[in-house]
């Protein structure tokens, strides 16, 4: 139906995902069988106000139509009323994830954000660790220390994952320069730090929650640093009116991410993109601050519709 978009993406359709991005929000678009399409929005209500309207479905439809790609693909779409739902304050985690005779894994233990779909990662690590606990307990081992470690380490892993990957990320989602740098560095770090270890020795890797040990702390510090810089760059671009200036006509293709030495290409590309943004920022520092709308403060972190 949209050959221009299909021709720009040289990959099998079943491997592709579709997202729209803006400052403070992103939209998923998932084709379903029978011609229906699942569409939804996740946004940070501190910096984005969801449009008003008579119903959730019409509000979502109106927002999608405000995007050029969304307007072209959803212009003739019809909302299936009664099949639209909303959740607010998505992030949560349990203060205690295990005890005598019970343990929480996956989304039962905690959830951060649907961006990058981290649910299966948390599910893999936590379920494997708990399965090992059960096996040891059934064989007669004393698992008291391991239960204590799981309760102690899970909230640390959760906090590090949030701070290094998601904190204030929605500030730069609408700028293609900054978001592409983040995508390259985020996914490369994921493959380098987590996927590679699991491929090499899954039985050992899954027994250690992410961001543990010296290597985990170094990775967390590195990711937190570049993420904070991208947020600062986004705020400068927004204040000077430069935000999203290079978005129009943006076309960029990446090689597939793999857990080996070929990651150097994506890491180098991400670092170069980030450093170029830093150079642009030096020029923007000398510009007069443009007048921009001030968002209303909110205690909500992310919401999904």
Tokens 């150097």 belong to residue: 264
Predicted confidence at residue 43, as pLDDT, reads: 96
The closest of 290, 296, 269, 185 to 230, measured between CA atoms, is 185
Residue 65, CB-side half-sphere exposure with 13 Å CA sphere: 13
The token pair that represents 183 in the structure block: 């995508």
What gap in Å lies between CA 141 and CA 137, rounded to an integer?
5
Residue 190, CB-side half-sphere exposure with 13 Å CA sphere: 15
Predicted confidence at residue 256, as pLDDT, reads: 83
What gap in Å lies between CA 189 and CA 263, rounded to an integer?
9
The low-confidence residues of the chain, meaning pLDDT below 50, are: 291, 294-300
Predicted confidence at residue 286, as pLDDT, reads: 84
Q: 74: which residues sit within 8 A by CB, 6+ positions away?
A: 37, 39, 61, 64, 65
Torsion of CA 243, 255, 71, 294, to 10 degrees: -20
pTM (whole model) above 0.85? yes
What gap in Å lies between CA 229 and CA 45, rounded to an integer?
22
How many residues would you count in the chain?
Answer: 305
Which DSSP symbol is given to 158? H
Q: Would you kindly state where each structural domain of the chain is located, as residue ranges?
A: 3-88, 93-284
What gap in Å lies between CA 205 and CA 211, rounded to an integer?
12
Give the chain's radius of gyration (CA, Å): 21
Q: Please list, residue by residue across 167-194, b when 16 or more beta carbons sit within 10 angstroms of its beta carbon and e when fewer do.
A: bbbbbbbbbbbbbbbbbbbbbbbbbbbb
The token pair that represents 106 in the structure block: 């996956």
Which DSSP symbol is given to 234? H
Predicted confidence at residue 297, as pLDDT, reads: 41
Contact in structure between 269 and 255 (CB atoms under 8 Å)? no
Contact in structure between 181 and 252 (CB atoms under 8 Å)? no
The closest of 17, 18, 21 to 234, measured between CA atoms, is 21
Predicted confidence at residue 113, as pLDDT, reads: 94
The closest of 125, 119, 96, 114 to 41, measured between CA atoms, is 114
Contact in structure between 176 and 246 (CB atoms under 8 Å)? yes
């Amino acid at each position: 139906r949209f050959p221009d978009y299909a021709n720009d993406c040289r990959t099998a359709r079943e491997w592709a995902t579709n997202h729209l991005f803006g400052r403070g929000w992103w939209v998923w678009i998932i084709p379903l069988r029978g011609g229906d399409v699942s569409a939804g929005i996740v946004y940070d209500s501190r910096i984005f106000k969801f449009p008003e309207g008579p119903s959730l479905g019409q509000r979502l439809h109106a927002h999608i139509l405000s995007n050029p790609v969304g307007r072209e693909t959803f212009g003739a779409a019809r909302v299936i009323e009664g099949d639209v739902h909303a959740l607010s304050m998505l992030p949560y985690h349990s203060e205690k994830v295990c005890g005598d005779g019970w343990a929480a894994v996956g989304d039962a233990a905690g959830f951060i954000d649907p961006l990058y779909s981290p649910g299966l990662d948390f599910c893999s690590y936590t379920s494997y660790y708990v399965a090992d606990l059960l096996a040891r307990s059934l064989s007669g081992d004393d698992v008291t220390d391991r239960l204590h470690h799981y309760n102690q380490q899970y909230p640390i892993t959760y906090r590090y994952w949030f701070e290094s990957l998601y904190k204030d990320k929605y500030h730069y989602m609408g700028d293609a320069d900054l978001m592409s740098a983040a995508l390259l560095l985020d996914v490369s770090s994921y493959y380098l730090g987590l996927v590679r270890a699991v491929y090499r020795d899954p039985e050992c890797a899954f027994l250690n929650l992410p961001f543990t040990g010296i290597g985990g702390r170094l990775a967390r510090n590195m990711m937190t640093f570049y993420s904070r810089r991208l947020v600062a760059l986004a705020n400068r671009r927004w204040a000077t009116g430069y935000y999203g200036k290079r978005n129009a006509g943006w076309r960029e293709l990446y090689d597939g991410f793999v857990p080996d030495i070929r990651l150097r290409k994506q890491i180098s590309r991400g670092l170069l993109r980030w450093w170029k943004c830093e150079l642009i920022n030096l020029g923007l520092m000398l510009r007069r601050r443009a007048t921009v709308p001030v968002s209303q403060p909110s205690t909500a972190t992310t919401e999904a519709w």
